[in-house]
Amino acid sequence: MPRSKEFDRDAVLERAVELFWSRGYEATSIGDLTEHLGIGRQSLYDTFGDKHALFVAALDRYKARGRSLVLEALARPGPLKRQMRETLRNMIDFVVETGRTCMLLNAAAERSPIDDDVRARFCENNTALEEALVRRFRRAREEGELDRERDIRALARYFVTTLYGLQIGARGGTDRRVLLESADIALSVLG
């Protein structure tokens, strides 16, 4: 008679998120996974498929958590420029303190050229972030904080790129002061 699984799939998936987030895909072996997840190799394969399928499931789990420093900040009331300054500073501080950038950004940097699943998830996240910024910039325009002539879509794309660049810089060891100076220059486009 086959044994039933004796682990919590969600808890195991959370541990997989943490391991892949800290090490990346290539640097995480099946042995690392079974040890960190506390399950046997066959249970891993039976439950999640192969390493790649587990990685994709971990990316989906990370994304489903729904916690985004940027989206949370944009949802708060207050002037646009102050919100954006807080968003950029909080993101810089998070990366400097934890050494972690967005897991989807990490995955894209490592796997996008060869992994359609990763690329698709990164692009979905990128689009969601861009749309959140477009909504916030539209609100700022309606409230008179942004010039009506401003292309808010281009502005949103600029800030998505800025957010990614600052994260990579912070993770790579760029001095916090330099990152904050870069953030201030980026904010200057808001007027």
What's the chain's Rg over C-alpha atoms?
Answer: 19
Residues 6 or more apart whose CB falls under 8 angstroms from that of 147 comprise 141, 191
Domain boundaries defined on the chain? 9-63, 66-190
pLDDT at 76: 83
Q: What is the pLDDT of residues 128-137, one digit of tens each?
A: 999 999 999 9
- Contact present, 146 and 191 (Cβ < 8 Å): yes
CATH number listed for the domain at residues 66-190: 1.10.357.10
pLDDT at 5: 56
Instruction: Name the DSSP class of 190.
Output: G
Domains 9-63 and 66-190 share a fold: no
pLDDT at 70: 78
Pick the CATH number of 9-63 from 1.10.8.870, 1.20.120.530, 3.40.1010.10, 1.10.10.60: 1.10.10.60
Give the residue ranges of the chain where pLDDT is below 50.
Answer: 1-4
C-alpha to C-alpha distances, 127 to 42, 85, 147, 150, nearest whole angstrom: 37, 21, 23, 20
The pTM score is 0.88
pLDDT at 66: 66
45-64 exposure pattern, b = at least 16 Cβ within 10 A, e = fewer:
eebbeebeebbbbbbebbbe
